[in-house]
């Protein structure tokens, strides 16, 4: 309580920042200083130079109060992105809420791989679309493609639709348990399905295990549940020569590749993320 008072009483910008850093460090937030700064910039509409150049300036009481509230949330390990309400991905700003997984940098590798094969006018299906970050990025960096995103969660789809509206992209979002309500054929199917084995979820950082949607993380017993289902059905929804792209957990490359091979995919390729870990698997459906 004492500290809360300190934070809201006529503090300078720098003092508030230092207070935020201490509070987050006490709560063992990994990037305490970075998060303290980003939250302060959000409430004060400033950028990183402000701390260096105008750190002695006072902060409006109203902004101090908001900052105190934000720091309080972050101390509870609520991810920074849920507090801010957005995350950058592929150079675009995506709205996020606790109903969707926060877009990850690793997933940009998936989008970039798809982009190598994507031609104007193709039909793309994003299975388990979440915030819509994969599909909407692909639409952003191509012309005249037709995009369909599906997810089992209505609440996630509401976020994806809002992102499409803000980014001015035309896409169709369908509530569907995997392929259940999907019609038609696609040139590309892309998916970052839930892939963490249930028993591993408990070992993840509190930001993830306590705040991100369990349904977007849980790949059931071996983490492969959704890959197996998607691979089997995907062949019915791809044009001959169409391609299936997955983001995978770093230990799943072999199992997912094998599953795709058994289903008749060819030219199966594994790509690494920026940390050098296996992160993407893709293959092409046979012409016959």
Based on CB atoms, which residue is closest to ligand GLN, 103 or 147? 103
Whichever of 11 and 137 has its CB closer to ligand GLN, that residue is: 137
Q: Residue 243 Cβ, how far from ligand GLN at the closest point, in Å? A: 17
Write out the binding residues for ligand GLN, residues 211-230 only, by CB under 6 A. 216
Exactly one of 11, 192, 234, 252 binds ligand GLN (CB under 6 A); that residue is: 192
Q: How far apart are CA 51 and CA 124, in angstroms?
A: 44
CB of 211 to ligand GLN, least distance (A): 14
Strand partners, 58: 12
Name the one range near ligand GLN by CB under 6 A: 1-9, 187-195, 200-208, 272-280: 187-195
Q: Does 103 bind ligand GLN (CB under 6 A)?
A: yes
Tokens of 104: 């990850």
Nearer CB in complex with ligand GLN: 68/129:
129
Q: Which residue is nearest to ligand GLN (CB)?
A: 130
Q: Is 8 in the site for ligand GLN (CB under 6 A)?
A: no
Nearer to ligand GLN, 219 or 242 (CB): 219
Closest distance to ligand GLN from the beta carbon of 55 (Å): 36
Q: Which of 39-47, 100-108, 112-120, 232-240 is the region at the interface with ligand GLN (rule: CB under 6 A)?
A: 100-108
Compute the distance between CA of residue 230 and CA of residue 218 in angstroms, rounded to an integer.
15
> What x/- string results for residues 126 through 145 when contact with ligand GLN is judged by CB under 6 A?
--xxxx-xx-----------
Q: Are 29 and 36 in contact (CB under 8 A)?
A: no
| Residue 192 and residue 102 in contact, taking contact as beta carbons nearer than 8 Å | no
The minimum distance between CB 84 and ligand GLN, in angstroms, equals 16
Quick one: 21 or 216, whose CB is closer to ligand GLN?
216
Residue 126 C-beta: closest distance to ligand GLN, Å: 7
**What minimum distance in Å lies between the beta carbon of 41 and ligand GLN?**
24
Examine residue 101 and tell whether it contacts ligand GLN (CB under 6 A).
Answer: yes
Identified binder of ligand GLN from the candidate list 79, 194, 242, 283, rule CB under 6 A: 194
Q: Is 197 in the site for ligand GLN (CB under 6 A)?
A: no
Q: Contact between 164 and ligand GLN (CB under 6 A)?
A: no
Q: Which two tokens stand for residue 243?
A: 């391609």
DSSP string for the chain: -HHHHHHHSS-BHHHHHHHHHHHHHHTT-TTHHHHHHHHHHHHHT--THHHHHHTTSB--HHHHHHHHHHHHHHHTT--HHHHHTEEEETTEEEE--TTSPPP-HHHHHHHHHHHHH--TT-EEEEES-TTSHHHHHHHHTSSS-EEEEEES-HHHHHHHHHHHHHHT---EEEE-STTTT--S-EEEEEE----B-HHHHTTS-HHHHTTS-HHHHB-TTTS-HHHHHHHHHHHHHEEEEEEEEEE--TT-HHHHHHHHHHTTEEEEEEEE-TTS-EEEEEEEE---
What are the tokens at 51? 């701390």
Binding positions for ligand GLN, rule: CB under 6 A: 101, 103, 107, 128-131, 133-134, 192-194, 216
């Amino acid at each position: 309580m004492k500290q809360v008072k300190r934070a809201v009483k006529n503090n300078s910008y720098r003092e508030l920042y230092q207070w935020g850093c201490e509070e987050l460090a006490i709560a063992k937030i990994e990037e305490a200083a970075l998060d303290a700064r980003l939250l302060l910039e959000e409430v004060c509409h400033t950028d990183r130079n402000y701390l260096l150049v105008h750190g002695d300036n006072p902060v409006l009481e109203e902004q101090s109060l908001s900052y105190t509230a934000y720091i309080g949330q972050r101390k509870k390990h609520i991810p920074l992105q849920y507090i801010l309400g957005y995350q950058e991905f592929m150079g675009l700003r995506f709205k996020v809420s606790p109903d969707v997984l926060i877009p990850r940098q690793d997933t940009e590798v998936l989008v970039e791989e798809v982009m190598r094969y994507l031609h104007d006018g193709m039909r793309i299906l994003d299975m388990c679309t979440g915030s819509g970050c994969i599909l909407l990025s692909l639409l952003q960096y191509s012309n005249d493609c037709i995009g369909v995103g599906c997810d089992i969660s209505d609440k996630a789809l509401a976020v994806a639709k809002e992102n499409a509206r803000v980014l001015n992209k035309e896409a169709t979002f369908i509530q569907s348990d995997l392929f259940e309500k999907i019609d038609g054929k696609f040139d590309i199917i892309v998916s970052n399905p839930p892939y963490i084995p249930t028993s591993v979820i408990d070992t993840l950082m509190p930001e993830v295990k306590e705040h991100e949607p369990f349904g977007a993380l849980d790949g059931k017993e071996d983490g492969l549940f959704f890959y197996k289902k998607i691979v089997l059905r995907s062949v019915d929804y791809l044009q001959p020569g169409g391609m299936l792209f997955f983001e995978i957990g770093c230990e799943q490359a072999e199992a997912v590749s094998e599953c795709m091979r058994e289903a008749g995919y060819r030219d199966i390729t594994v790509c690494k993320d920026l940390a050098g870990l296996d992160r993407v698997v893709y293959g092409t459906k046979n012409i016959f």
